[in-house]
Amino acid sequence: MLIVAERINSSRKSIARALETNDINFIQAEASSQAEAGADYIDVNAGTFINDELDRLKWAVEVVQEAVDLPLCIDSPDPAVIGAVFPLVKRSPMINSITLEPLRLEGILPLVAEHGTKVIGLCQSEDTMAETAEEKLRLASQLVERVMKAGIPLDNLYIDPLVYPLATNPQSALATIEAIGRIMEEFHGVHTICGLTNISYGLPKRKLINRTFLVTAISRGLDAVILDPTDNHLFGALKAALALISKDEYCIDYIGAFREGRLG
């Protein structure tokens, strides 16, 4: 299970403030704590800065790389921003993200192909927010096609079927989970990834919904996730789910996480 750590995102107020005031210590502490908590990639996002997203993101990338040895997940919808950040990155990053929108595909896929990086592909096109499993699968198949045509191995594609709030669509979790299962069956070698916070919008005890959703998604084959690894209840649910589906033989990781006090 590949973990992309989500905390360094400017939509969080504390992060936005740290990016505005160049608070190196704060950003580096966020990076280190997520690295220690088991992150594989550190997501870096400055998307709420309309006019100077690039400068803030560049600064954050440099600062995070000073603090941790992990690769980054460069998080921007803007191909120009991703292209400009690329030369600063020390370890092969993950790109977050492409959609089927032509500008994003054409701007980002060549970079991904040339540098052999991983990329997240959202099941979203210019005119479709895929809400049903069928729509998600249809867009996933188009992503697979475009990525292969660009000469990128499927092993580097992480398909995000997207998840919409359960509060406003009673079928939304089922649609995403069903799509994960079918994507993993139909496109051999591809990965699926998902964020967890959207699902619980408008509901009480959101974290309970988030981690239960994670467990059901893992049971259908989800093999990467965007989350906060420092949340021990969430991390514990992740470890337990992997043990239950036999992706942690003899529960060795689960027991290890217990010894480290990581099971919530």
Partner 1 sequence: MSDTIQQIKDAVITRQRTEIQGLVTRAIEEEIDPKSIIDQGLIAAMDVIGKQFSDSEIFVPEMLVSALTMKLGLETVKPLLKAEESEPRGTIIVGTVKGDIHDIGKNIVKMMLEGAGFEVVDLGVDLTVEKLIEQIEAIGPDILGLSALLTTAMPEMKRAVQELRAKGLEVKVMVGGAPVTDSFAEEIGADGYGADATEAVVLARQLIGV
Interacting residues toward partner 1 by CB under 8 A = 47-48, 50, 77, 124, 126-127, 129, 164-168, 201-204
Minimum CB distance to partner 1, residue 258 (Å): 34
Minimum CB distance to partner 1, residue 166 (Å): 8
Q: Which of 196, 203, 215, 246 minimizes the C-alpha distance to 5?
A: 196
Alpha-carbon span 121 to 115, nearest angstrom: 17
Nearer to partner 1, 87 or 202 (CB): 202
Minimum CB distance to partner 1, residue 232 (Å): 26
**Contact, 40 vs 3, CB < 8 A?**
yes
Nearer to partner 1, 68 or 173 (CB): 173
Minimum CB distance to partner 1, residue 126 (Å): 8
Nearer to partner 1, 13 or 188 (CB): 13
Q: Which of 98, 87, 89, 108 minimizes the C-alpha distance to 44?
A: 89
Nearer to partner 1, 124 or 192 (CB): 124
Nearer to partner 1, 204 or 261 (CB): 204
Burial of 257 from C-beta contacts in 10 A (0-12 / 13-18 / 19+): buried
Nearer to partner 1, 70 or 209 (CB): 209
Pairing outcome for strands 118-122 and 94-98:
parallel
Minimum CB distance to partner 1, residue 168 (Å): 5
Q: Which of 79, 2, 5 minimizes the C-alpha distance to 36?
A: 5
> 179 CB contacts (<8 Å, ≥6 apart)?
123, 133, 136, 137, 140, 161
**Contact, 3 vs 43, CB < 8 A?**
no
Minimum CB distance to partner 1, residue 165 (Å): 6
Alpha-carbon span 247 to 47, nearest angstrom: 35
